[in-house]
Each structure stands twice: as C-alpha cells, then as structure tokens.
C-alpha cells in the first residue's frame, strides 16, 4: 500500500539575505537576460509538451485491483480489502466512473468469495448503476453478468431450492450471459469471467461437453495472460464438471492441471482446495485411502499457510470418512 505524507517548511528560513546591486550592473544583466530569453524562445521548438490527460492515479488503482484479485484467489481477504480500500480512494480522487465501476466489481468479487453474498450483490448493483449512468456499455454488461452469477445456487452458500428451481435459475443466468458476453470481448478478463459463468450454468443444466468447452475458453485467456491462480481455478471447475459427469479419470487429470498452475503460482490456498477436490473425486470413486491421504495433505497445506478455516474443513472431511463404514 502506498503511504502519503507531506512536508511543510518555512521557505523564508532558507532564503539568503538580499544585497544591493549596482544600477549599471543591473541594467546590463537585464539586457543580457532579455536577449537570452528571446534566443531561447525562438530556437527551442522541442520543449517538453504537457500530456493531454494524466492517468497516474487511475493506473495505480488498476494495480491495486490486480493485487486484490490475487489476494482473493489466495484466500487472503484481509489484504484484499486493504488493496481495494486504496483502489477506491484513488477512484474517488479522480472521480473517474470507469475506475469506480472496476473497483466495485472487484470488491463485490472479494465479498462473494468470502461468503458475503448480500454485500457482493450490493456492490455489483451499484457498479451496474454507475456504468449505466456513465454510458459504458462494456462495463454495464460485465456488471450484469456478475449480478446474474450471484443468482446461481452453486457457490452462493444459500440453501438448495431443489433441482427444478436450480435449473430454472441456471437457464435465466445463461440467457443473461449469452446476451451480454459479446459486449465485453474487448476486455479479456471480463470475457473469461463470462465464459466461466456460462460453464457453471451449463453444468447445472447437465450439458457437460458445452460446460467444459466454455470454461476452457476462460482457462485459455488466463493461461495466455499468465493469471496462474485464475487458470488453476478454471481447471478446478473443469474437474468438478467431469466429476459430476461421472468421469473420475478425466476429473483427476483436470485437478492435476489445477495443481500445476497453483504450484507455479505458489498459491497455498489454491493447492489446498485442489487436494480437497482430489479427495472428493477419490471418495466418490470408492478409493477410501487415497481420499483420506488427499484430505490430510490438504489440511497440512492449509495449516502451512495459516488458513485455519479451510484446514478445519479438510479435517472434517477426513474425520467423516474415517468414521464411515468401510
């Protein structure tokens, strides 16, 4: 985070005392100065030009957003909030609508991943209002996709309303994504988010092949842009699609891809989640010992990064499996 400070001092205290200057010397100096100035103005055609627009604070805000997104991917919500608070201050200081919208979308994403769905939706709706007011069609479409994603049951923490309602919600969300995604293709990262949401909708609707294809588009964007944590999560989602389709072997292969990206990123939280997913795949396939080993490895990884709440979740899965009949 940047730390601003100001220094105030009495310039007069550092100003030397003036001495009287002879009139003849003064007149000569003035004449020489006028001649120098006239020559300088006529010969210096390459003087530095002022930029038509300054982007310093907006670029700094974008940097803070990127740091916040990385922190969210790593489960570090404390630092994510600090980065986002600084990004918001910079956005407010420039009164730039686009920057304000981008911060609100990122802040909503942090809330959502932390489990604060209501706070996330509030930020995303505010982002939509600001983008619409500013006339930014691309950011308006991105905000609509974020709001639509919040309707999906998967990952929301809301109680399951039943298969019929889940599918109805997924169908409505998919309609929104497909209507809006063409307007955000100029921004690869928002487009990647749109493809991932489309994949989640198709997963809920049981179209495994189309779901995987959509999420792979997101993975290609993230991999190509070196967003390693995001690419890892894409493959984590692909693994869940394959597992839901009943293909354990290809689900394992997808989790190994996620592990590869998270190892490259040294993403402790992501690695722990990958091993928990591996445990779920093995448990579903009836491989009890492999599942237990995966859950315990996940717990160790989480504790190495002081991510205690996830470590306890991994322990709970291992203990439940140990206590179940063989």
Residues in the chain, how many? 326
pLDDT by position in tens, the chain (length 326): 333 323 222 323 323 333 444 444 444 444 444 444 344 444 455 667 777 888 999 999 999 999 999 999 999 999 999 999 999 999 999 999 999 999 999 999 999 999 999 999 999 999 999 999 999 999 999 999 999 999 998 888 888 999 999 999 999 999 999 999 999 989 999 999 999 999 999 999 999 999 999 999 999 999 999 999 999 999 999 999 999 999 999 999 999 999 999 999 999 999 999 999 999 999 999 999 999 999 999 999 999 999 999 999 999 999 999 988 87
pLDDT at 192: 97
Q: Would you give the end-to-end CA distance of the chain in angstroms?
A: 52
Q: What pTM was estimated for this model as a whole? A: 0.82
CB burial readout 171-196, b (16+ within 10 A) else e:
eebbebbeebbebbeebbbbbbbbbb
Identify the CA nearest to 85 among candidates 73, 95, 77: 77
d(CA 61, CA 80): 13
Residue with tokens 């991932």: 196
At residue 45, the pLDDT reads: 54
Tokens of 26: 């003064």
Is there a contact between 204 and 185 (Cβ–Cβ < 8 Å)?
A: no
Q: Which helix (H) or strand (E) holds 31?
A: helix 23-43
Asked if residues 89 and 5 have their Cβ atoms less than 8 Å apart, the reply is no
Listed residue (107, 87, 91) closest to 99, CA to CA: 91
Residue 52 DSSP one-character state: S
Query: Which pair of structure tokens corresponds to residue 295?
Result: 């859950």
- CA 118 – CA 147 distance, rounded (Å): 11
CB contact at 8 A, 298 and 276: yes
């Amino acid at each position: 985070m940047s730390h601003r400070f100001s220094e105030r001092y009495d310039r007069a205290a550092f100003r030397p005392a003036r001495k009287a200057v002879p009139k003849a010397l003064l007149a000569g100096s003035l004449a020489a100065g006028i001649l120098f100035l006239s020559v300088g103005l006529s010969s210096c055609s390459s003087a530095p030009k002022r930029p038509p627009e300054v982007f310093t604070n907006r670029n700094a805000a974008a940097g803070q957003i990127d740091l916040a997104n990385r922190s969210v991917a790593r489960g570090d919500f404390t630092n994510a909030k600090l980065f986002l608070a600084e990004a918001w201050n910079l956005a407010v200081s420039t009164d730039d609508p686009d920057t304000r919208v981008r911060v609100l979308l990122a802040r909503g994403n942090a809330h959502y991943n932390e489990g604060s769905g209501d706070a996330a939706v509030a930020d995303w709706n505010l982002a939509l209002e600001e983008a619409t007011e500013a006339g930014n069609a691309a950011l308006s479409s991105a905000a609509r996709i974020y709001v639509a994603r919040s309707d999906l049951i998967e990952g929301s923490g809301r109680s399951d309303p039943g298969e019929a309602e889940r599918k109805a919600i997924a169908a409505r969300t998919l309609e929104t994504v497909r209507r809006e995604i063409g307007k955000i293709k100029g921004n690869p990262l928002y487009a990647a988010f749109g493809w991932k949401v489309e994949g989640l909708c198709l997963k809920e609707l049981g179209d495994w092949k189309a779901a995987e294809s959509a999420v792979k588009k997101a993975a290609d964007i993230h991999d190509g842009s070196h967003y390693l944590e995001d690419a890892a999560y894409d493959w984590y989602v692909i693994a869940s699609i394959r597992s839901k389709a009943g293909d354990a072997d290809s689900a394992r292969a997808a989790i190994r891809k996620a592990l590869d990206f998270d190892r490259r990123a040294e993403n402790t939280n992501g690695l722990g989640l990958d091993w928990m997913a591996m445990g779920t795949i093995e448990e579903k396939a009836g491989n009890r010992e492999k599942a237990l080993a995966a859950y315990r490895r996940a717990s160790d990884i989480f504790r190495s990064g002081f991510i205690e709440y996830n470590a306890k979740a991994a322990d709970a899965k291992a203990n439940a499996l140990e206590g179940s009949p063989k």
